[in-house]
Structure formats: structure tokens, C-alpha cells
Structure 1
Amino acid sequence: MSLDIDHLRGWIGREDSASEVLSPALIRQFNATFDRSSGETPGDVAPLLVHFCLAQPTVPTTELGPDGHAARGGFLPPVPLPRRMWAGGAFSFYGDILIGDEVTRRSVVKDVVLKTGRTGPLCFVTVEHEVTANGRPVLTERQDIVYREAPAKGQSPAKPAADPAPLGEKSTQITPSAAYLFRYSAMTFNGHRIHYDKDYVRDVEGYPGLIVHGPLQATLLCQFAADLKGTRPATFSFRSIGTIFDTNDFTINAVEAEDGGLRLWTAQAGGPTAMEASASW
């Protein structure tokens, strides 16, 4: 497939913004989804990465593509590759979001780059988000999105097998039930069918089961890091290098890093690392 990279790079600098008040109801839903507890009244500090559930694009259902994503060519460039995944990201935290705050997200397309990978052309789109709460800067985020070709008919989309990941010095097990993934999709207003439509993900995309969201894994790892250190990190970054399905449990893991931070990762039971991350204070 031929990609007009100069045309796609015309989206660099394009902006989008939205605001939403963080309600106690959303915090109750967030805590219930993650089986966590925290303050749920106005003025209480909100859980880390709850901003993924706030001020998200609200595209009409009639404007969704066949995969459940918004049709191409709005804020994001119209990359003509069928598979879109969240490849990674990085955060710098400056303050806390409080329940009752009006949270504003300002997003800018920073870069569009074409590369070649094992499966063919890869188009990487980098988006930068600035998040404020009642006008206070609370975090900046770099989001890396990758678009790629679909595998040929009969070809598995999975990567070659790798050695199983070890357990960390600290580790906990997560069951990625269909209800768990559906709840997270609903909170983040994510229509991507790979996370809740088993017939679609198996018959169209060729995967063995529902796919665990990248942002969900990042949220688990960031919260795990904060729980272990007793406070939110100053920076947190992650990179997706594999896929986790709802076919088996997975673990979140952490070890101490030489700089006093934490090295973290997720892995399906008996499988290789799916997401690797680092947190610093």
C-alpha cells in the first residue's frame, strides 16, 4: 500500500480540546472497575490516570468505522492502514486532579513518521496532551499511536513466541474478564471492537480473544508503582511490545531500579512481556 506521508504530515500541529467535570459517580465506577477504594467526595484526590476517562472525543455512532474507531481524517491523520494500536506513552505529573474539578484536555499532533517493520509499513503518530484541573497544570502526556497492515488471510497477527517473562520482586495477578474490559471501554468511551466483541476480534482481526487495553495496563502499572512507593511518581513511561488476551490471567510486576525508581511490566501467565514501563520520583 502506498502512503502519501507528506499529506499525512499536514496534520502536524492540528489541535483538539475538551473539558469535563470529574464527578463522584465516575470515581465510584472507576474504583469498582479496578477493585480499588479511594475518597469519593468533592475535594478528594482522584486516582492516577483517571483522566483517560475524561473529556474524550464523542463521535456519533454513525461516524464510526467498521472497527469501532472514529472514521479517519478528523483530528488524527487519515492513515490508510487498517490496524491501529496504542504503542506507548509518557507522563510528567505536576499536581493532583480533585473530584469536582473541571478537567481540560488540550491535544496537539506533534509528529507523523513512516517506518517499515516485520509486517510491512508502520505509521507512527505522536500526540501531546496537556491536562489541567480548574486551570491548574496537572500532567502532560505523550501518546504514541501505530498504524499497520492487517496480516494476510490465514496468517496469524501474533508475534513470534518469546521466552516467558519472570515474576517481579513485587507481583499481583489480574483476571481480564469480559466484564472488566467492557467496563473500561465504557468509562473511556472507547468503541474499538477488539476489546468487547469476541466474534469481531476472532473472525475479522484473527486474534484468539479480546485484547486488554494498553491504557488499562498502563493504569494498573502506574497505580501499582504509586502504591509501592506511597506517592505518585514524577514521571511514568510505558511501551507496548506484545498483546494480552482475555484467554488467561496476567500479572503486573515491579523491581527496584538503580536510580531509586521502579521498572515495571505486564505479562500473560506463561507468556512474554506485553508492556514494559518505568516510574521515577
Structure 2
Amino acid sequence: MPAERILPDEPMCRHTTFAVGGPADVLVQPKSVKELSLAIRAARAASLPLTVLGGGSNVLVLDGGIRGVVIQLNEMKRVLSCHDDKIHAASGYMLADVCDFACQNALTGAEFACGIPGTIGGAVFMNAGAYGGEMSNIVFRVRTVNGHGGVTTYEAEKLGFSYRTSMFQRLQEFVVEVELRLQYGDKEVIRAKMNEFTEKRLAKQPLEMHSAGSTFKRPPGYFAGTLIDQTGLKGFSHGDAEVSTKHAGFVVNRGNATAADVLAVIHEVQRRVHEVHGVRLETEVRILGVP
């Protein structure tokens, strides 16, 4: 692998959508399944801790950084193809690009994902969803590399999907390729639906600011943003971390927040919402690294 894709002491604030986080001991950016497999085997052979990321959304890296090897998969873009009603995509492609490719091929079903800020591999890992759709509805097959560098293919019914969860959150296996099964549709209708969802996001979500996406999972019977708003926490801040004034379900970085600032906001929101409503909010954002 070229040296420019093996980065020692690399600040993770450069590689996450929150734009916070201390250094990874080593950040590796493979472009192929072979490179990923070799990187994993090298880390294991050296007994180094291993962390794998997609595009860097939906994560909060703590200020002390991440020990060992961090492998980020957003350069994995060797495959993006269409065959009949199926899209085959390498895990590093952004969801927006995959949705646009589906539209170009007159395939419908993925429009809900067009504005989710992340890679398709990360979306499978989290079973990402929006506007009534989620990845479990469209994933047909997934190819992975395991914690020893071996390659496995899974059919969708084996992936353990539930709300914002897949089996990959429990296993040391990393998504490298995804096959989606969609339906034939009309390009203009598909594009119009994507534009509608994009306009809704722009109007309601703080996309102009650094964040990790929705900070909290939806608690049963409630909406996290509504509970936070009703608790009077819109605009609550610690340092440069703030509960968005546009959408209370987002904690944003106003420019120079630290991970400690973000955590302080998250913990206060959790405390106050539980105090007022008796509901415990769980983070959707994955918290990684050391303080």
C-alpha cells in the first residue's frame, strides 16, 4: 500500500463529520479488499487494537484519539455496477452517489437514503434509515472481511437487522461490498422523490454545521428531537458544542468544539430528558477512543 495512505499520528478531526477527535496511532486507507485484508492481518500479527470506520459520520472520536490501527474504508470504490434490478457497490461509496446511480438506472427503493451522510458500508453496519425506509428493506447480499482477513458473503436474512442495528455491531467483520435489490421505476419520479427528501433535510436539519447526524436513537413511542425541544434544550451549549437550534435531535460543532464538549452536551441532554420525561435517550452516535 502506498505510504500516503498509511498515516501515523493522524488527527481524526480530519476524518470525521463532527470534526473533533484526537489522533489515531496509525490511520490506514485501503482501496481494495486485498489491501484491507492485508492491513487487518498486519494489525493482528502485531497484536494491535483495530478499529474500522466508514466515512466518519455517526461517530464521536474522543480527544485522546484511538490506540492501535484505524482502517477507514471511504477509499474502497472499486465497484459500482448495475445488473437487472440490482446495484453492486463497494463499501466506500457515499449513499448519495449510490442513490444517484440507482436513479440513472431507473431503479427505485433507495430514495430515502439519498441524504444520509455516510458510506453504504457504514449504512449497512448501522441499518441506517430515514423517511420510513431503512437499509434492511433493500439489502440483498453483503460481502465482508473478518478480523483475520478472511472474506465471507452473507444473504440479507443472515444480517440480524433491527432498528439501527446489524450483526456487524457484535462481530469483528467489516462490510466491503453491498448488493441492493430495488424495483424498476421512472427516472423522473425517482429524481423528484430524491429532491423532495433533500429539500426536507435542508429545511429541517443543520446540514451547514459539523455533526455526526442524529445524535440519539428514537426511543419507543417518542421522537428524541421532540423530547429535547420540549425540555427547553434547543441551543444548550458547552464550549462550541450545541444542541442545534434548527433540530434538537442534532448536537453540532459550532467551529472549535472538543469531544469533551460534545459529551458534556450529550450527558446533560440525557440527564434532563430523563428528569423531565422519564425517558432514557441512547446515543445513535458511536463513541470511540480514549478521553
Output the TM-score relative to the length of structure 1: 0.30
Output the TM-score relative to the length of structure 2: 0.30
Greater share of residues in strand = 1
Greater share of residues in helix = 2
